[in-house]
Amino acid sequence: MTRIDAKFAALSAAGKKAFVAYVMAGDPDFETSLEVVKGLPGADVDVIELGLPFTDPMADGPTIQLAGQRALEAGMTLERTLELARRFREEDNTTPIVLMGYYNPIYNRGVDTFLEDAKAAGIDGLIVVDLPPEEDAELCIPAQKAGLNFIRLATPTTDDARLPRVLQNTSGFVYYVSVTGITGSAEAQAGDVGPEVARIKASTDLPVIVGFGINTPEKAENIASVADGAVVGSAIVSQIAAGKPVAEVLEFVKTLSDGAHRA
Amino acid sequence: MADDLFNSFMNGPDEQGRFGIFGGRFVSETLMPLILRLEDEYNKAKDDPEFWAEMNDLWTHYVGRPSPLYHAERLSEELGGAKIYMKRDELNHTGAHKVNNVLGQILLARRMGKTRIIAETGAGQHGVATATVCAKFGLKCIVYMGAHDVKRQAPNVFRMRLLGAEVIAVQSGRGTLKDAMNDALRDWVTNVHDTFYCIGTAAGPHPYPAMVRDFQSIIGKEVRTQLAEQEGEGRLPDTVIAAIGGGSNAIGLFHPFLDDKSVRIIGVEAGGKGVDDRIEHCASLTGGRPGVLHGNRTYLLQDGDGQIMDGYSISAGLDYPGIGPEHSWLHEIGRAEYVSITDKEALDAFQVSCRTEGIIPALEPSHALAHVMKIAPDLPKDHIIVMNMCGRGDKDVFTVAKHLGFDMSDTEEGRSFEE
C-alpha cells in the first residue's frame, strides 16, 4: 500500500473528498518552491502533484509552460526535483507525492535507475503525460513492480471501448481530464463532468479525481461534489508567477482546499 | 530485391509503430483515440485503388509529377568523377517535395470528414504546401510557425496568407520549429473533433512516420523507373544522397532502394557551424542520442538532463532537434550512412549548382549537393549518384545574399534584383 492508497482510504473512511495541488518543482527557484511544497499539507492539501520541468510540455498551457521555463532557467533538473521531494520527506512522511511530467527526462536517466531513486526520494506515484497504455512496457509496468503507483489520465475522448485498456494498469487513482485541451484552458463544468466520472467509476474501484479548468474554490467544490476530488494547478502556479509571498500562495491554496472539502 | 522477405528492410514499422526501438506512440491520452482512428483510415486508404487514382491524378495535373531525373553533366565534368543525377523535386508546384505528402494527408482528411487543417512549419515550405492544398479543396487552414521563423521567412508568411491560411506566430519556447510543433499538438488536443493535423515530416507518433514516407516514396519509385529508362533496364543508382532535417525527402528517396544491397545510401544532416559540444548544428544522428519527443522515440539533441536543445542551421528547414524514427533505425542497423555538412560547405555547393547547372537550389538540398561534391571526384565515371534536389532556392536568396555580403535592401542592385 502506497501513501496514496492510504490517503484515499482515510478520506473515504471520513467521507471526505480529496484536494490535489500541483506545483512545478523549482519554480521560481529551488528554495521558494520547497517552501511552498512544505506548506501544502498545512493548507489541507491531500495529495501533492510535483511538476517535473521539461522544455517541451506539449499538453500544457502557457502558465505551466512558463513555470517549467522559470524552473529550468533556475537550474532545476530531475535530480534536483527528487532532492526537493527528499527534503520534503524529512518533515512529512504521510502526504503522498505524485511526480507529473513527460517521459524524456526519465528515459534519459534510465527507467530502472529513475524508479530506484524516485522511490528512495519518497515519490509515491507517477503521471507521465506522453505514455498512453500502448506504451505500458516503457515505465508503467516497471513502476508498479517497483512499488510506485502509475496514475493514468482518462479524457473525454476515451470512449467505452477504450476505457478498460486505460484502467487496466492504473493504480492509486484515475485522473479524469475534464476538457479536451491543455492545462489552464477551458473551464470545467460539473454538469458535463458528473456523467463522465460516473461512467469511469462503473468500471473501476479506484478513486476518480478531476483536473484541468478548475481555478476557484467554487469550481473545486462543484467538481469535487461529482467526483472523488479535484486538482488545481495553473491557478496556483499563476500566484507563484505573480511573485506572491509563499504565505499568500498558501492562503490561496487553503481557500481551494476548503472549497473541495466542502463538497 | 531482398533475398527473402524476412531479411527485408522495407517491412517496418511493426504493429506498435516501431522501427527497432524507434518510433512508437508517445502522446497524451486525449490524442490516442485520434491517432488510432487515423491509422485505421490510412490502412484502408492505402489498400484502396480509388485513393491512389485520385493521388496520381493530382500528382500529374496539379503537382507536375513525375519530376525529371536530370543528368547534371557540367557538374559531373567539373568534379571529374561519378556521373551525377539530380531528382528535380524542386520543380513541383510550391517548389519542394513537401506537397507530395500534403496531398496524401489532405485527401485522407477529406475521407475522414475533417474540415479544419493544422500544420507546423519551419522555413515555411510545408506551411505553403498545406495552405495551397487547403485552398484547392476549400478547407480552413491554420499554420503554426515559430515567432523567430516568422521574422526570418517573411515572404513565405505572406504566401500562406495570400493562400487564405491563418499563420500563428508561436511565442512559446524559443519560437522555432519544435515550438511550432508543440503548439500544433496543443491545438489538436483542444480541437479533437473537426481537426486534422497535417505533419510535414516523417516523424511524430505512428502512423505519421510510415504514412509520410509512403507518400514521399513516389520520389524513389520514379528514380528507379527513370534511371532504367535513361541508363538501361535494371540499372540502379550506385549511391543515393539526400539532405535530412526531419528526413521526409530522404526517406522518400531511400525507401524504395532499402533492399537493393548494391545501393549505397547517404543522409546528410545540417552541421551548422560544426558538430561539437556547443550544439551549433542540427545533426541529431551524429551529435545526439535516443530520446522521446513529439510522439516518437528517435535521436535528439538534448542535454544531460534530457531537456531538448535548440539546434542551429543556416537552413531553417533543417533546424529541428530530432529526426524521423526510421532514419534512427537505419543508422543503428547500418543500412544507411549519415554524415554532416557545415553552413559554409552548403553555401559553396549552392553557388556551384547555380554556376554549373543553372539551378538555384534551396539551402536544404545544397547540403546534399555539398556531400556529392566531396565524394564524386574519387569515384569512377560509371558510378551513378542520384541526389535529391528537394527544393528550389527562391526562398533562400536573401539569406545567401546576406552571407555573401550582398546588401539587397538599400542598393540600386538590390532594387533591380527584387524587381
Domains of chain A by range and CATH? 3-262 (3.20.20.70)
Selecting from B33, B189, B294 the residue whose C-beta is nearest the C-beta of A59 gives B189
DSSP assignments along B144-167, one per residue: EEEHHHHHHTHHHHHHHHHTTPEE
In a domain, B256, yes or no: yes
**Tens of pLDDT, residues B382-401:** 999 999 999 999 889 988 99
Q: Is A49 a catalytic residue?
A: yes
pLDDT at residue B274, rounded to an integer: 85
> Contact A131/A138 with Cβ under 8 angstroms?
yes
Q: Are residues B376 and B392 in the same domain?
A: yes
Q: Are residues B151 and B243 in the same domain?
A: no
Mutate to test the interface with B, among A135, A139, A167 (most CBs of B within 10 A): A135
Q: Residue B384 is part of which domain span?
A: 65-95+217-403
Selecting from B24, B190, B294 the residue whose C-beta is nearest the C-beta of A180 gives B190
Q: Are residues B82 and B171 in the same domain?
A: no
In a domain, B330, yes or no: yes
Please state, for a pLDDT cut of 70, what percent of chain B lies above it: 95
Q: For residue B415, is pLDDT > 90?
A: no
Q: Coil, strand, or helix at residue B362?
A: coil
In a domain, B6, yes or no: no
Cβ distance B29 to A166 less than 8 Å, yes or no, reads: yes
Q: For residue B113, is pLDDT > 60?
A: yes
> Contact B280/B234 with Cβ under 8 angstroms?
no
> Contact B286/B280 with Cβ under 8 angstroms?
no
Task: State the count of interchain CB pairs (< 8 A) between A and B.
Answer: 118
Mutate to test the interface with A, among B178, B186, B190 (most CBs of A within 10 A): B186
pLDDT at residue B410, rounded to an integer: 58
**Tens of pLDDT, residues B210-221:** 999 999 999 999
Beta bridge partners of B140: B116
Which residues does B263 contact at the CB level (< 8 Å), separation at least 6?
B236, B237, B238, B239, B240, B257
Q: Are residues B47 and B155 in the same domain?
A: yes
Q: Evaluate the CA torsion angle B131, B134, B135, B138 in order and state its sign.
A: negative
Please tell me which residue, B229 or A179, carries the higher pLDDT value.
Answer: B229
Q: For residue B416, is pLDDT > 60?
A: no
What is the CA angle A251-A256-A260, rounded to 5? Answer: 145
Q: How confident is the model at residue B253 (pLDDT cuts 50, 70, 90)?
A: very high
Selecting from A54, A58, A157 the residue whose C-beta is nearest the C-beta of B192 gives A157
Mean pLDDT over B98-104 rounds to 98
Beta bridge partners of B197: B118
> Contact A81/A99 with Cβ under 8 angstroms?
yes
Cβ distance A130 to B26 less than 8 Å, yes or no, reads: yes
By CB neighbour count within 10 A (0-12 exposed, 13-18 middle, 19+ buried), where does B229 fall? exposed
Q: Are residues B195 and B270 in the same domain?
A: no
Which of A46, A49, A136, A196 is labelled catalytic? Answer: A49
Cell numbers found for residue A63: 502558465
CA-wise closest residue to B117 among B125, B127, B319: B127
Cell numbers found for residue B148: 523567430
CA-wise closest residue to B237 among B338, B365, B100, B379: B379
Selecting from A62, A109, A130 the residue whose C-beta is nearest the C-beta of B28 gives A130
Q: Is A60 a catalytic residue?
A: yes
How many domains, chain B?
A: 2
By CB neighbour count within 10 A (0-12 exposed, 13-18 middle, 19+ buried), where does B202 fall? buried
In a domain, B179, yes or no: yes
Quick one: DSSP state of residue B308? B
In a domain, B196, yes or no: yes
Tell me, what CATH number does B25's domain have?
3.40.50.1100
Cell numbers found for residue A131: 505514455
**Tens of pLDDT, residues B5-57:** 567 999 999 999 999 999 999 999 999 999 999 999 999 999 999 999 999 99
Q: Are residues B72 and B85 in the same domain?
A: yes
Cβ distance A58 to B185 less than 8 Å, yes or no, reads: yes
Helix spans in B245-386 (H): 248-254, 284-287, 325-333, 343-357, 363-375
Q: Are residues B280 and B362 in the same domain?
A: yes
| Distance (Å) of CA A22 to CA A76, A115, B164, B350, B378 | 17, 21, 41, 52, 61
Which residues does A14 contact at the CB level (< 8 Å), separation at least 6?
none
Instruction: Provide the chain A residues 153-182 that lie in CB contact (below 8 A) with chain B.
Output: 153-159, 162, 166, 177, 180-182
Q: Are residues B128 and B256 in the same domain?
A: no
Q: Are residues B236 and B352 in the same domain?
A: yes
Domain end call among B211, B245, B265: B211
Q: Coil, strand, or helix at residue B338?
A: strand
Q: Coil, strand, or helix at residue A48?
A: strand
Cell numbers found for residue B147: 515567432
Q: Are residues B78 and B54 in the same domain?
A: no
Which residues does A136 contact at the CB level (< 8 Å), separation at least 6?
A169
pLDDT at residue B418, rounded to an integer: 38
> Contact B120/B180 with Cβ under 8 angstroms?
yes
**Tens of pLDDT, residues B255-287:** 999 999 999 999 999 999 987 766 688 889 988
pLDDT at residue B31, rounded to an integer: 96
> Contact B322/B331 with Cβ under 8 angstroms?
no
Residues of B in contact with A186 (CB under 8 A): 190
Cβ distance B182 to A166 less than 8 Å, yes or no, reads: no
Cα of B333 to nearest chain A Cα, Å: 21
Taking residue A249's Cβ as centre, other Cβ atoms within 10 Å add up to 24
Q: Coil, strand, or helix at residue B257?
A: helix
A72 and B CB contact within 8 Å: yes
**Tens of pLDDT, residues A104-127:** 999 999 999 999 999 999 999 999
In a domain, B5, yes or no: no
CA-wise closest residue to B157 among B115, B196, B197, B128: B128
Q: Coil, strand, or helix at residue B82?
A: coil
> What pTM, to 2 d.p., does this model score?
0.95
Cell numbers found for residue A204: 473501476
Domain end call among B176, B211, B246: B211
Domain end call among B211, B244, B273: B211
pLDDT at residue A14, rounded to an integer: 97
What is d(CA B322, CA B226) in angstroms, rounded to the nearest whole number? 32
Torsion angle of C-alpha atoms B408, B413, B417, B419, degrees rounded to 10: 110
pLDDT at residue A190, rounded to an integer: 79
What is d(CA B182, CA B173) in angstroms, rounded to the nearest whole number? 9
In a domain, B11, yes or no: no
Residue whose entry in the numeric block shows the C-alpha cell 510522439: B295
Chain B residues within 8 angstroms (CB to CB) of chain A: 16, 24-34, 172-173, 178-179, 182, 185-186, 189-192, 291-295, 297, 300, 302, 304-308
Please, what is the average pLDDT of chain A? 96
In a domain, B377, yes or no: yes
What is d(CA A5, CA A214) in angstroms, rounded to the nearest whole number? 24
Does this complex have an ipTM over 0.90? yes
pLDDT at residue B417, rounded to an integer: 41
> Contact A260/A220 with Cβ under 8 angstroms?
yes
Q: Are residues B288 and B313 in the same domain?
A: yes
Q: Are residues B192 and B247 in the same domain?
A: no
Which of A46, A60, A117, A124 is labelled catalytic? Answer: A60
Residues of B in contact with A152 (CB under 8 A): 29
Q: Coil, strand, or helix at residue B202?
A: coil
Instruction: Provide the chain A residues 178-237 that lie in CB contact (below 8 A) with chain B.
Output: 180-182, 185-186
